[in-house]
Chain A
Amino acid sequence: MKRILASILLLACAALFTASFFAGAPAHAEEAAAVKIIPTTEIKTEEGSGAGIISAEEVEKARAITAERIYWLIGLWLLIVLAAVLIRWQLRDDDKLYHEGYYSREL
Chain B
Amino acid sequence: MKIKESLLSRRDFFTGLIYGSLCSIAAYIAYPVARFLFHEKKLPLPKAVTMTMADIEKLAPNSSAYFQYGYLPGILVRTESGDLKAFSAKCTHLDCNVNYNSDTKTFHCACHDGYFDINGKNIAGPPPTPLPAFTVKQEGDVMVITGPEEGGEKIKTA
Contacts and interface: CB of A to CB of B under 8 A. Distances in A.
B28 A40 contact: no
A80 B144 CA distance: 61
Interface residues of B, number: 35
B11 interface: yes
Interface residues of A, number: 26
B28 A75 contact: yes
Contacts of B17: 86
A86 B14 contact: yes
A37 B65 contact: yes
Contacts of B144: 43
B66 A37 contact: yes
B46 A48 contact: yes
Interface in A7-45: 29, 32, 35-45
A89 B14 CA distance: 9
B51 A44 contact: no
A48 B43 CA distance: 9
Contact of A42 (B21, B25, B55, B70): B70
A73 B36 CA distance: 17
B99 A38 contact: no
B109 interface: no
B101 interface: no
Interface in B17-71: 17-18, 21-22, 24-25, 28-29, 44-51, 55-56, 59, 63-70
Given A39-B51, A82-B21, A90-B18, A44 B44 contact: yes
